[in-house]
Structure 1
């Protein structure tokens, strides 16, 4: 049944010790989620909701106010959409090389090979929807300070990215090699890009512009580009976020007024839909899906799907499609 491809926000299963910084005061209340794909968790017990390879990974982070995710670097693209809360993205190995404040609906694509952290600076629990590049996004490179604090709280990171939690009786395997903190040369290679370049990595929700040439565009329906590495087969030019590092996917916003619909069509790329606001009805030959805020759904390639906004306030959703240049949909 198609229902197994739906991940309800209310049913998300968190991992509270996914990374080596999870015991650090100020970071010990964060929850990490792997929705689609293996993700980058260092804990082998991290729950994976849908393991099917998509060419990218979908994840999430939920943090209470003032909770911090420590400084780290990724080997592939890392994109965040703010679903709930107000967030501060912090740059630099020592968290002192710039920041970006993100509100609900905003998107940031953080370049590879640079240090970043993030903090919920709102007054309520916040949630970030995340997209990571490639099926295997590689391991995380932590700032030296993270290793120092982890040792104090019983966490040991092995070379290759496996986490050992000695506080629950786990032990370091014989002959295991411990992951060493990065040295000065590696840190220099992960330098923060200039501020003017980083500004091009952020798109505010209010600054999105609909593409009238989108095949989905019609009365009450807008498709708005966010991340586009190249000109696409479905009528989109590159941008507004292009990036000087590979993404391997496109990100769009989809907005429907109440009662507006997109007729049944197929895609030849992986397509993941995340609902930010409203109630979205997705109709497929295998059944109907009703999605609410925070829900995620992945449609099989080639399967017909139709959309309808069934809430009085319309729908705001985000759509991830695989590849740099998605083809035009085929209406059926």
Structure 2
């Protein structure tokens, strides 16, 4: 394919162009959860609303999404069948565990990454003033649907929202006629909820890497003067020189997460990857160039690079660049320079 600048811009989602959904989930009217915004950047994600906008539908082997919430706003307790990763772009957040938040919590802040194990209840809440933004990665092309804690169904029903079997959100606030010919999903049974046990907190702390604990890998093929790449999520040793960890996980991921940092003027020459590569700019500016042109990304922007396309990186700004990169497969291979 001839990758023109227009074709590549169709693979770029600017932070300013993100289309939010405020009716994404069954708890959208529950007090404390009404102000949250859900985004699906790549793939359909796990939204329960027909109003959810999907920016890029191409299958990557994982989904990319985001959440934006003000101070005090809560995403209710739920469980996933595939990996759920949080990259904190802005704000301070609490991840409470257990169906009723009774099993402990972990707090995360800007630049931190957490991967919450499958088949356990978690939620997230914004702790500090102002809006906060979480960049998220969900495992697999079809991450299924969320399993809500029993109390979430009860609270939602009081505000007119129910779920159909299959996960479609039903609004009954204007009358029960909305339920005609609809088979409702049952609230999560107590015995099923009991099976979604929270691991010990010492195990859950292995699932978080703070920004200041991310260590550059000198064996990264991208490493050079002014350029560092640190492992964040690496399920197994990879073909491009990364050992497992610091987050490896005892549950499947199907992707790697890395942190790329580049000083002013630093450059990574043209190279191609054989896996999906999604870049999210945490701070600073990143120029990505290829034979057909160049794109400059800013903080909060997301780009998916075509598999096999030779491309180069440059930091053209006067401040350091920090970006997170999601690479497809458990064990990405060596890039071709």
TM-score by length of 2: 0.96
Please say if 1:96 is aligned against 2:102. Answer: yes
Please say if 1:50 is aligned against 2:56. Answer: yes
Q: Distance in 2 between matches of 1:250 and 1:90?
A: 25
> What secondary structure is seen at the aligned counterpart in 1 of 2:241?
coil
Q: Distance in 2 between matches of 1:84 and 1:168?
A: 37
Q: Distance in 2 between matches of 1:170 and 1:48?
A: 29
Structure 2 spans left out of the alignment, 5+ residues: 1-6
What's the CA shift for 1:285? 2.2
Which residue is 1:277 aligned to?
A: 283
Cα-to-partner distance string for 1:54-95 (whole Å, 9 max, x where unaligned): 000000000000000000000100000000100001100001
Which residue is 2:269 aligned to?
A: 263
Please say if 1:226 is aligned against 2:236. Answer: no
Please say if 1:174 is aligned against 2:196. Answer: no
Cα RMSD over matched residues?
1.1
Whether the 8 Å CA contact 1:229–1:241 is kept in 2: the answer is yes
TM-score by length of 1: 0.98
Which residue is 2:8 aligned to?
A: 2
Q: Distance in 2 between matches of 1:305 and 1:274?
A: 16
What's the CA shift for 1:174? 3.4
* Superposition pairs of residues 38-77 of structure 1, within 5 angstroms: 38-77=44-83
> What secondary structure is seen at the aligned counterpart in 2 of 1:69?
strand
What's the CA shift for 1:152? 1.3
Cα-to-partner distance string for 1:7-38 (whole Å, 9 max, x where unaligned): 00000000001000000010000000000011
Please say if 1:165 is aligned against 2:171. Answer: yes
Q: Distance in 2 between matches of 1:140 and 1:289?
A: 36
Which residue is 2:3 aligned to?
A: none
Task: Report the count of equivalent residues.
Answer: 331
Cα-to-partner distance string for 1:107-133 (whole Å, 9 max, x where unaligned): 000000000000000111000000000
Q: Distance in 2 between matches of 1:137 and 1:258?
A: 38
Q: Which moved more, 1:126-135 or 1:164-173?
A: 164-173
